[in-house]
Structure 1
Amino acid sequence: MGQSFCRESKPAYDGEVELKHFHLLRVVGKGSFGKVRIVRYKKTDKIYALKYIDKNKTIKNRATENTINERRLLEETNSNFVCNLRFAFQDEEYLFMVLDLMMGGDLRFHLERMKTIKEGIVKFYVAEISVGLSYIHDLKIVHRDLKPDNILLDEFGHAHLSDFNIATHFRKGKPLLAIAGSMAYMAPEILSKQGYYSSIDWWSLGVVTFELLFGKRPFRAKTNKELIHAILNTDPIYPPNASNFVSRDGLDFLQKLLTKDVNFRIGTVESGGRETFRSHPWFKDIDWERLEAKKYQPPFVPDTKSSNFDASHDLVELLLDDKPLSHKKSRISKKRKSDIEKGNIDPVSGQDPVLLREKKIMERKYLVFDFTKPKGYQSFLSGNMPIIQDTNNSPSTSQRSAEVPKVTKPKETRKLNIKKKNNDSKVENVKLTELNSMHSSSYTRNSNTQSFHKDIMEGKDFEDLVQILTQFDVAEYETDPSAIDAVVGSPNTIHEIKL
């Protein structure tokens, strides 16, 4: 009697990329909309990070625009110092982004274990991140959420920018007015509503540099109102013995980064840009051409034999997840498309036509991307306008609006699920949308920061912003991460404040 063997058929790689093209390995990160896990691309055996985002949760939390925007911006980038997008696709439940895998963990992970990082190592990270920032700024992209959580190390110890969820394009003569980022890292020009360009990323780099060197941030407070006042009106708080373990050049560099006036802040276009930045005495021993080519041996090499991620994420999925990730239909079925078009079914709630409309738009706008097929993928760059495009040949607003139907958001108020100081607060009359950001970059969730995003602030007094930001109980910023359950330490990131 003969034996029969069942052999797994190999997937075809000549069509669009799908989940079945990847071996699913361990989970290394978790966010409110999905997770991040290590995957192996079957065609090449190369390892990547797979970020998968639940469509329904994204829509219900009004995070569709941010998610589409992140995928759009990442298609434009390809740098040695950015976590680059390699594939993007979707199935009926999830949006997928396949990114460069950084096995060294994020700087938050290492800072929490080391408490402080030696000056030579910090200088190396700052130099590499400055190259990444200059690269995206040349593309007219501002990151807006630079912090240790969003700086990842590869297995060799090189630093990379990650998490472009609230990044955006900017254009000369059109300053941005959005309140966006993590408050402890926000530049004064954001909080004072002056309008800003890429200068804010250099301020954030200053806060990161300070935090890595001293283990604390330069501006500390017990409430948001006090923190805003400190950033706008006070000088950084240096340790009394700072000069004992940071050089004079290092302290001078910090002072120039944490300058409130953008005209004198090192790194900004107004102060001379990258030339002035790179010529600072702190970097006198760096050959920038070698650095850009990654020819330097990093001063710290992560131990990749031990985990640089939070292992609990993998255990939670194994034991508790009732919907573990598995291959599903990569395209929306014809019958489902027909039912959706006719309005017979609502894939989100079964009731709300606005959510149905938004999911249709999401599925149409989230295009397939395959970096191995530069002439064949569905591209935002070839088929869609960037958010802001600095060109005289751009399609008109009416042309773009004809391509993308306008979505009317529901009128109901969505309240934050965090403790308020009093129930009589005027904030009850303010529409606050809770957008829980899925961070692929940070695998420890005690980042002690809160992100804010608001698209339009014209006509709103600064005091109104302060009033909103100070309605929540906030624990001490520095000393007890586990006690912080509101604005500063919550794993839930607020990306949008509607006034």
Structure 2
Amino acid sequence: MGGNHSHKPPVFDENEEVNFDHFQILRAIGKGSFGKVCIVQKRDTKKMYAMKYMNKQKCIERDEVRNVFRELQIMQGLEHPFLVNLWYSFQDEEDMFMVVDLLLGGDLRYHLQQNVHFTEGDVKLYICELALALEYLQRYHIIHRDIKPDNILLDEHAPEVFQVYVDGGPGYSYPVDWWSLGVTAYELLRGWRPYEIHSATPIDEILNMFKVERVHYSSMWCKGMVTLLKKKGRLNCDPTFELEEMILESKPLHKKKKRLAKNRSKDGSKDSCPLNGHLQQCLETVRKEFIVFNREKLRKQQGQGGQLLDMEGRAGSQAQGKLQDGCNNNILAHACSRGCSS
């Protein structure tokens, strides 16, 4: 996917908003229902990031725009060493973009599938770091609701980073995160989960399972680890993504610049095929309400790069003000009909 290599780093106007042209696309590493993730390099600083991009029209059609806006708004107000932090957000005619920290060590699910053995010391370290991330989220009234090995990422050195996907809602409270953390720790130590539960398992069967089934703890684990788990026990990338992007994708990312230029020239011609009125109106709403963000510029404004984002300041108070009622799914007004996540 990478192209347009240049030996000289381009010079961008520091007052110019960061956009797609500021990044070199290196390779595709993931795919969701309507969003994709690729590795990118910022052309001026040469820093590497993960860039998630979501097609606007698909988000509208699937009624997911509101979720994207909510995720953007919350991530702007968060910064923590054990979270995947948002650095930039921007848009063009086709897509919405989120540029975040790049973690090259893979997720814990991948390592479990590769039969990696996690020592008790490893798991203790993971639990401590994840607990710090959870405490940080709880301080800002955020419930993660999706803690599992798939959503815990490792960097290429060692410390794992907690992938933030904040989507709280009525009926959940903070214990759900701690319970999920305990289940994750158990699975890392044993290789399987303490309960055999699937998405199709009836609720009454799950509740009965918690009442009658005993969780088995290995005699090889220390007493402290078993005690910790009992407190919570109640209740690198697939290459096919790259091939698909290159061969099967009808609108490949690396050809976006030429495609958009062609589309813009068509807009002024009589042969252009206009979108239906409702879709066009929704796309215009998304364009107007999309939240542009630049953490790099924000840091410079707060202290010429020497002062970290103050969570008690502008961004923090914004996030807390929006989340203090605990109803995370009610943060935003409806954009089009609703709105997008990952």
TM-score tier after normalising by the smaller chain length: 0.7 to 0.9
Tell me if structure 2 keeps the 8 A contact 1:220–1:230.
no
What's 1:360 paired with? 284
TM-score normalised by the chain length of structure 2: 0.78
Change (3 A) 1:124 1:228: farther
Tell me if structure 2 keeps the 8 A contact 1:91–1:328.
no
Question: Deviation of residue 362 (structure 1)?
Answer: 2.0
Q: Which amino acid aligns with 1:45?
A: K
SS where residue 122 of structure 2 aligns?
helix
For residues 198-277 of structure 1, the aligned pairs below 5 Å read: 198-221=174-197, 224-226=200-202, 229-231=205-207, 234-235=210-211, 237-239=214-216, 242-260=217-235
What's 1:144 paired with? 145
RMSD of the TM alignment (CA)? 3.7
Change (3 A) 1:231 1:76: farther
Q: Which amino acid aligns with 2:180?
A: S
Change (3 A) 1:32 1:389: closer
Tell me if structure 2 keeps the 8 A contact 1:29–1:37.
yes
What's 1:373 paired with? 297
User: Does 2:288 match 1:311?
Assistant: no
Q: Which amino acid aligns with 2:84?
A: C
What's 1:351 paired with? 276
Structure scoring higher RCO (CA < 8 A, sep ≥ 6) equals 2
Question: 1: CA distance between counterparts of 2:132 and 2:242?
Answer: 34
Question: Deviation of residue 322 (structure 1)?
Answer: 2.5
Change (3 A) 1:29 1:406: closer
Deviation by residue 1:23-61 (Cα, 9 ceiling, x = unmatched): 110111111213111111111111111111111111111
What's 1:12 paired with? 12
Question: 2: CA distance between counterparts of 1:228 and 1:115?
Answer: 34
Question: Deviation of residue 405 (structure 1)?
Answer: 6.8
Question: Deviation of residue 225 (structure 1)?
Answer: 3.7
What's 1:49 paired with? 50
What's 2:305 paired with? none
What's 1:38 paired with? 39
Q: Which amino acid aligns with 2:252?
A: P
For residues 416-435 of structure 1, the aligned pairs below 5 Å read: none
Tell me if structure 2 keeps the 8 A contact 1:25–1:37.
yes
Tell me which structure has the larger Cα radius of gyration: 1
Change (3 A) 1:232 1:372: farther
Question: Deviation of residue 138 (structure 1)?
Answer: 0.8
Question: 2: CA distance between counterparts of 1:225 and 1:154?
Answer: 34
Tell me if structure 2 keeps the 8 A contact 1:31–1:437.
no
SS where residue 143 of structure 1 aligns?
coil
Q: Which amino acid aligns with 2:253?
A: L
SS where residue 243 of structure 1 aligns?
coil
Deviation by residue 1:382-435 (Cα, 9 ceiling, x = unmatched): 9988783439xxxxx9xx99xx577457xxxxxxxxxxxxxxxxxxxxxxxxx9
What's 2:324 paired with? 390
SS where residue 244 of structure 1 aligns?
coil
Question: 2: CA distance between counterparts of 1:363 and 1:199?
Answer: 37
SS where residue 32 of structure 1 aligns?
coil
What's 1:97 paired with? 98
What's 2:73 paired with? 72
For residues 87-236 of structure 1, the aligned pairs below 5 Å read: 87-114=88-115, 116-164=117-165, 166-168=166-168, 176-177=169-170, 195-221=171-197, 224-226=200-202, 229-231=205-207, 234-235=210-211
Question: 2: CA distance between counterparts of 1:18 and 1:247?
Answer: 51
Question: 2: CA distance between counterparts of 1:385 and 1:352?
Answer: 34
Question: 2: CA distance between counterparts of 1:223 and 1:43?
Answer: 45
**Larger helix fraction of residues:** 2
Identical-pair percentage: 33
* Unaligned segments of structure 1, at least 5 residues: 1-5, 169-175, 178-194, 261-307, 392-396, 410-434, 439-499
* Unaligned segments of structure 2, at least 5 residues: 1-5, 303-313
